[in-house]
């Protein structure tokens, strides 16, 4: 298959279902050779009975593409390292990493126990970090050997990570951490030919079927705005050589809409050039807030 990712080797984590599956199929349709990672767990991260990664590989191969399955837990260093090795052992190279794996354990903060906090940060944030670290080590070695790659990383954040989400303190914190990790990685890895961006997608998956229940009615005019496949074209472009020069960015994408998200940056400022007392600091803060747009509401409020 020819396309904008012709012969690129692309790893997609959490690719057995939902967004990851859509990404894997879209990359394959654009000519990529795909490593389909899925640990085969349930929505809450507990082991599941099936092997969805193998099913996606079969779909890709049936359509004439190239793919291989990987089942290890990428939130462990060993699993993340084996993911990179699978790409290199199977196809001899690694060009693009798409970090997508995740699950939910939603609780209000007063009911959120430490295990549920740790589990969600582990798979989302630690899973992103470990795969990125092992892929980056390979790309750095390639650069030092005189073979600077045209490498791409696409991380998966969320509107919850940008705005917060009631009942999802663990998930929101993890997704916010992924944005910060993306910015750091983009700055650190540019010298090795690596571009790193993030998406904040909205689509119908196992994780969002309740959140978007009202948006899941029959599609109008044949366009299903909540279909995971709507997100994948941007991911494929970001994962291709065609995205040259785009790095350290966060894109929100839903249906047919793509938005470049603008993160924290300095707003109105007052400088006394001396230490404020508490009353003065409070008055200054209120003055500055009066000059500043109100923040977007937290999801669920």
Assign 203 a pLDDT band (cuts: 50, 70, 90): confident
Residue 222 pLDDT: 81
Q: Quick: pLDDT tens for 282-295.
A: 999 999 999 999 99
Assign 170 a pLDDT band (cuts: 50, 70, 90): very high
Give domain status of residue 294, yes or no. Answer: no
CA distance 182 to 11: 17
Give domain status of residue 92, yes or no. Answer: yes
| pTM, full prediction | 0.91
Give domain status of residue 4, yes or no. Answer: no
Residue 241 pLDDT: 98
Residue 45 pLDDT: 46
Mean per-residue pLDDT for 210-216?
Answer: 47
Give domain status of residue 77, yes or no. Answer: yes
State the chain's mean pLDDT as an integer: 92
* Residue of 158, 165, 172, 240 marked catalytic: 158
Q: Quick: pLDDT tens for 18-77.
A: 999 999 999 999 999 999 999 975 554 454 545 799 999 999 999 999 999 999 999 999
Q: Quick: pLDDT tens for 137-150.
A: 999 999 999 999 99
Give domain status of residue 119, yes or no. Answer: yes
- Residue 176 domain boundaries: 9-260
* Residue of 157, 165, 172, 175 marked catalytic: 175
175 is catalytic: yes
Number of domains in the chain: 1
Give domain status of residue 274, yes or no. Answer: no
Give domain status of residue 275, yes or no. Answer: no
171 is catalytic: yes
pLDDT beyond 70 at 237: yes
HEC-encoded secondary structure of the chain:
CCCCCCCCEEEECCCCCHHHHHHHHHHHHCCCEEEEECCCECCCCCECCCCHHHHHHHHHHHCCCEEEEECCCCCCHHHHHHHHHHHHHHHCCCCEEECCCCCCCCECHHHCCHHHHHHHHHHHHHHHHHHHHHHHHHHHHHHHCCCCCCEEEEEECCHHHHHCECCEHHHHHHHHHHHHHHHHHHHHHHHHCEEEEEEEEECCCCCCCCCCHHHCCCCECCECCCCHHHCHHHHHHHCCHHHCCCCCCEEEEECCEEEECCCCCCCCCCCCCCCCCHHHHHHHHHHHHHCCCCCCCCECC
Q: What is the CATH number of the domain that holds 160?
A: 3.40.50.720
Residue 2 pLDDT: 87
Give domain status of residue 284, yes or no. Answer: no
* Residue of 171, 192, 240, 243 marked catalytic: 171
């Amino acid at each position: 298959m020819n396309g904008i990712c012709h012969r690129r080797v692309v790893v997609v984590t959490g690719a057995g279902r939902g967004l990851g599956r859509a990404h894997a199929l879209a990359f394959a349709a654009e000519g990529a050779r795909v490593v389909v990672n899925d640990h085969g767990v349930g929505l809450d991260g507990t082991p599941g009975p099936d092997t969805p990664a193998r099913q996606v590989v079969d779909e890709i191969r049936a359509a004439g593409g190239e793919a291989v399955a990987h089942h290890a837990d990428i939130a462990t260093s060993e699993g993340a390292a084996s993911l990179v090795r699978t790409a290199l052992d199977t196809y001899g190279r690694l060009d693009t990493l798409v970090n997508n794996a995740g699950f939910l354990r939603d609780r209000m903060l007063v009911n959120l126990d430490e295990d549920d906090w740790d589990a969600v940060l582990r798979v989302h944030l630690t899973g992103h970090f470990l795969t990125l670290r092992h892929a980056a080590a390979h790309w750095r070695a390639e650069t030092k050997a005189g073979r600077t790659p045209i490498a791409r990383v696409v991380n998966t954040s969320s509107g919850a990570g940008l705005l917060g989400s009631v009942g999802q303190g663990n998930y929101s914190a993890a997704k916010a951490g992924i944005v910060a990790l993306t910015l750091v990685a983009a700055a650190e890895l540019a010298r090795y030919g690596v571009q790193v961006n993030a998406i904040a997608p909205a689509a119908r998956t196992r994780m969002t079927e309740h959140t978007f229940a009202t948006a899941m009615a029959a599609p109008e005019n044949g366009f299903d705005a909540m279909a995971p496949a709507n997100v994948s074209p941007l991911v494929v472009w970001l994962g291709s050589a065609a995205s040259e020069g785009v790095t350290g960015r966060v894109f929100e994408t839903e249906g047919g809409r793509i938005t470049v998200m603008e993160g924290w940056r300095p707003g109105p400022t007052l400088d006394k050039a001396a230490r404020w007392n508490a009353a003065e600091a409070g008055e200054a803060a209120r003055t500055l807030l009066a000059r500043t747009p109100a923040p977007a509401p937290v999801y669920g409020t």
